Amino acid sequence: NKLLAIFKILLIQFKYKEKEIFFNFSSGNSLVFFLLLPKFNNEWSLMLHHGHLESKLPKLLLRFILNKFDTIYPLNERQAEFYKSIKPCYPLVEESSYVPAVLVDISDSEKLPLNKARDQNLKIIVGSGSPRPLYQHHLLIELINKNQNAYLFLFLYGDGELKDELLNLNHPRIKVFIDKDEDIFNYYLSKADLYVRPTLEDSFGIACADAIEFGVPVIASDVCKRYSGVQVYNTEEFLFLKSRNVLEKE
């Protein structure tokens, strides 16, 4: 409820006077929120984490909104170009903020699905994202169907139009999790033979970087600059070829 959110942020601004408020929203269209939100004597910082920031709002309105912020953080060159095209008055801060994930042990009950797949000598593939078409989870399902020696652990977060369909997926070599803790996801990621991220849009893909740091091969779409060591693809055929090459290695 946007009106409730605005009310809460107003209270926060009054409570924490002259403090910095950091907004981490999604797409460029979410900027419409700030048309209704007044700014008082706080400093505002903005980071939009969606891959691209195209917006249906006119540039005049976008400039008005962005000029409310004291600092704006682009996550990649594409985002920086978007902000520069609007010409906000305040500075863009372009710097790397990636910190590798910390790996901790998890309970034996949480490890059980992974251990069962390992006992069958199956290659472990991990996928993740929100249950929306943007993440192209259907390609992961197709990848499993093409590789009989592979098992997919799909970690979903939040809501989306594909949530029920994916949660009710009845496949002998696919296990779908919803809203699992970060520690559990990182444990599975660290034990994977392959992490695949076939998103249509992305800003960076932190899970790709974490997987590389864990020593896990990563194949991802070429929609943004990926972490060093990630194998990128630009066609579905190339995705399946690269994946098969990884899965066939002993």
Give per-residue pLDDT as tens, 73-129. Answer: 988 888 888 898 888 887 888 876 788 899 999 999 999 999 999 999 999 999 999
Q: Cα separation of 18 and 142, whole Å? A: 52
Q: Cα separation of 234 and 223, whole Å? A: 8
Tokens 């034996």 — which residue?
Answer: 108
Same domain, 240 and 167: yes
The pLDDT score that the predictor gives to residue 16 is: 85
**What average pLDDT does the chain have?**
92
Q: Which of residues 33, 55, 86 is at a domain's end?
A: 86
Same domain, 38 and 117: no
Q: Which of 161, 101, 121 is nearest to 137 (CA)?
A: 161
Q: Cα separation of 86 and 66, whole Å? A: 8
- Name which of 69-73, 84-88, 170-174, 226-230 the model is least confident about: 84-88
Contact 22, 45 (CB under 8 A): yes
Mean pLDDT to the nearest integer, 34-41: 85
Q: Which of 36, 68, 66 is nearest to 48 (CA)?
A: 66
Residue 48, domain member (yes or no): yes
The pLDDT score that the predictor gives to residue 190 is: 97
Same domain, 13 and 50: yes
Residue 98, domain member (yes or no): no
The CATH number of the domain holding residue 183 is 3.40.50.2000
pTM attached to this predicted model: 0.81
Q: CA–CA distance from 178 to each of 40, 53, 134, 175, 221 (Å)?
A: 39, 27, 17, 10, 23
Contact 128, 207 (CB under 8 A): yes
Residue 66, domain member (yes or no): yes
Residue 212, domain member (yes or no): yes
Same domain, 75 and 128: no
Bridge partner residues of 129 (DSSP): 156
Residue 154, domain member (yes or no): yes
Q: What confidence tier does 250 reach under pLDDT thresholds 50, 70, 90?
A: low
What percent of the chain shows pLDDT beyond 90? 63
Same domain, 118 and 73: no
Give per-residue pLDDT as tens, 125-158. Answer: 999 999 999 999 999 999 999 999 999 999 999 9
Residue 25 pLDDT greater than 90, yes or no: no
Question: 205: phi > 0 → left, psi -120 to 50 → alpha, else beta; which?
Answer: left
Structural domains in the chain (count): 2
The pLDDT score that the predictor gives to residue 28 is: 84
Mean pLDDT to the nearest integer, 154-180: 96
Q: Which of 80, 28, 23, 22 is nearest to 59 (CA)?
A: 28
**Host domain of residue 205:** 108-247
The first and second tokens of residue 69, run together, are: 């912020």
Sheet with 71-72, side-by-side order of all strands: 20-25, 43-48, 71-72
Same domain, 157 and 238: yes
Tokens 């709002």 — which residue?
Answer: 57
Same domain, 29 and 152: no
Mean pLDDT to the nearest integer, 20-45: 87
Q: Which of residues 25, 55, 86 is at a domain's end?
A: 86
